[in-house]
């Protein structure tokens, strides 16, 4: 009988057990199936399970010598329900695709399987990943394991809630306007948006769409680096994809390499932030001084971020979903309809202006990183909010114009083409997690992971997950 205590082990430790022959991939699937039956009903993180497919993949993997089973050696991984897995229901969180079963997997999934990942579930996501609260008409809402009356954020909310509640050791997600970073922050786990092209994906609707990137989620920095290693690499089908680096991200995370000069910004100069979130993230950032780093308050100039992201996101929605608006409008949620219509109204002049703004933002960020090794800021501007709220309508007295504006602190970094992660850095007075956003210059994931591991060691928050889902406090 497989040991349920494995649920609490790190992914790196479980992979070592797999490589040593102490457990098998089939044992791990048994552990997960039991854990999901026990806790997932309370959070709804993994609405689609594919254990039969997973076991047949595990058995095929076990025919190979242990040393040939890839980086993950048979470790199970869930895939976000926006990404195709062959033979598995892939709904994109939309009633339009409630019966969609792809015949071919995304190249990201194929790469994970080649590297020894075993796919056993699809994690919940908002419709088409739109909006940073994970709910949809197909499967309903995903709840936050720390307080099941609260949102897990999004759009990789199912992935984050699975990690926090112990139904996954590692999880795949994606990020356009913070969709790996927001749920990591709300659920007390780690989520990384990599540089453009670090993780190859099957192009859809355009070969050069760069706002959205695929990335890893995990409970700690080392596990995160392990999954990034298993996801990375170039692929001919993705012309933007980058080759594997000579040094693994896991070894970079473990290098002990310390940043010399750090910048912290409570708001990147562009957004209101809840005072408690500011206080928790500032205190965490200042602790970098214990590693000998100089910590100063500074940030690049992001003044055009809201206008720029609004236009480029709307354009992306138009090219990817205009056909659905024409043919299935009655099945789309209002926020998605609004986003597509905003895109269809755009003039070439507006696009020209937005693209020029993105170039300028990226150039200023690069100049900033000539002085600073890392930039730190809150990963979300509020603590986890009630799950019934579709989005954050106001913060610290400021009302927002639309359902994505509250995400400015993360989408500004998307525009700057920088890799960024959310690291658990503390808790609110009511015991809800707060994430610190850590940002490096483009393609500097190794430096980012090394710095994150240094701060993770100082903060001592690692190991607070997984938890049994908690009902709201009376």
Residues known to be catalytic: 80, 155, 179
Residue in the block written with tokens 């507006």: 350
Strands (E), 233-334: 261-264, 294-297
Q: Which residues contact 362 (CB under 8 A, 6 or more apart)?
A: 415, 416, 417, 442
Q: Which residues contact 79 (CB under 8 A, 6 or more apart)?
A: 85, 109, 112, 119, 121, 122, 123, 172
Between CA 306 and CA 313, with CA 311 as vertex, the angle to 5 degrees is 95
Contact between 234 and 242 under an 8 Å Cβ cutoff? The reply is yes
Query: For residues 160-185, b (16+ Cβ closer than 10 Å) or e, as one string?
Result: bbbbbbbbbbbbbbbbbbbbbbbbbb
φ, ψ (nearest 5 deg) of residue 122: -110, 135
Question: What distance in Å separates the CA atoms of residue 411 and residue 424, rounded to the nearest whole number?
Answer: 19
φ, ψ (nearest 5 deg) of residue 283: -60, -40
Question: What distance in Å separates the CA atoms of residue 192 and residue 439, rounded to the nearest whole number?
Answer: 10
Q: Which residue blocks in 173-220 are alpha helix, DSSP H? A: 181-187
Helix H or strand E segment including 425? strand 420-427
C-alpha closest to that of 144 among 94, 184, 191, 93: 184
3-state DSSP helix/strand/coil percent for the chain, to nearest 5? 40, 15, 45
Contact between 165 and 145 under an 8 Å Cβ cutoff? The reply is yes
Q: Which residues contact 28 (CB under 8 A, 6 or more apart)?
A: 2, 6, 14, 18, 74, 75, 76, 118
Max Cα-Cα span within the chain: 64
Question: What distance in Å separates the CA atoms of residue 22 and residue 24, rounded to the nearest whole number?
Answer: 7
DSSP bridge pairs for 172:
216
**DSSP assignment of 85-147, as one string?**
-TTS---TT-GGGTT---SS--HHHHHHHHTT-EEEEEE--SGGG-SSS---TTT---EETTE
């Amino acid at each position: 009988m497989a040991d349920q205590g494995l649920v609490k082990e790190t992914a790196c430790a479980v992979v070592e057990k797999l490589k040593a022959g102490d457990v098998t991939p089939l044992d791990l699937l048994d552990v997960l199936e039991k854990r999901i039956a026990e806790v997932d009903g309370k959070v709804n993180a993994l609405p689609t399970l594919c254990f039969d497919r997973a076991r047949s993949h595990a058995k095929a993997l076990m025919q190979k010598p242990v040393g040939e089973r890839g980086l993950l050696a048979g470790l199970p991984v869930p895939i976000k329900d926006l990404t195709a897995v062959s033979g598995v229901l892939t709904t994109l969180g939309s009633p339009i695709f409630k019966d969609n079963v792809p015949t071919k997997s995304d190249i990201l999934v194929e790469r994970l399987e080649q590297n020894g990942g075993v796919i056993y579930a699809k994690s919940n996501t908002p419709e088409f990943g739109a909006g940073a609260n994970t709910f949809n008409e197909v499967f309903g809402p995903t709840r936050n394991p720390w307080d099941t009356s609260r949102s897990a954020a999004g759009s990789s909310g199912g992935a984050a809630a699975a990690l926090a509640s112990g139904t996954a050791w590692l999880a795949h997600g994606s990020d356009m306007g913070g969709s790996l970073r927001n749920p990591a922050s709300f659920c007390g786990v780690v989520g990384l948006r990599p540089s453009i092209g670090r993780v190859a994906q099957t192009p859809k609707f355009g070969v050069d769409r760069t706002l959205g990137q695929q990335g890893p989620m995990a409970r700690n920095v080392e596990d995160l680096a392990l999954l990034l290693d298993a996801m990375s690499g170039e692929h001919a089908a993705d012309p933007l994809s980058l080759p594997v680096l000579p040094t693994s991200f896991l070894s970079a995370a473990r290098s002990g390499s310390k940043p010399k000069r750090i910048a912290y910004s409570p708001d990147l100069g562009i957004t209101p932030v809840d005072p408690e979130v500011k206080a928790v993230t500032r205190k965490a950032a200042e602790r970098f001084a214990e590693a000998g780093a100089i910590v100063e308050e500074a940030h690049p100039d992001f003044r055009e971020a809201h206008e720029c992201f609004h236009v480029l996101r709307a354009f992306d929605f138009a090219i990817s979903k205009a056909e659905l608006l024409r043919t299935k409008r009655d099945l789309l949620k209002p926020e998605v309809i609004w986003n597509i219509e905003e895109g269809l109204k755009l003039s070439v002049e507006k696009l020209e202006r937005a693209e020029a703004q993105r170039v300028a933002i990226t150039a200023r960020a690069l100049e900033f990183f000539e002085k600073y090794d890392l930039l730190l800021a809150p990963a979300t501007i509020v603590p986890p909010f009630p799950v019934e709220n579709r989005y954050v309508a106001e913060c610290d007295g400021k009302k927002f114009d639309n359902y994505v504006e509250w995400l400015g602190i993360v989408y500004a970094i998307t525009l700057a083409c920088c890799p960024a992660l959310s690291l658990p850095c503390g808790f609110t007075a009511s015991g809800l997690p707060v994430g610190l956003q850590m940002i490096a210059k483009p393609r500097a994931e190794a430096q980012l992971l090394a710095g994150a591991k240094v701060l993770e060691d100082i903060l001592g928050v690692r190991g607070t997950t997984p938890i049994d889902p908690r009902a709201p406090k009376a």
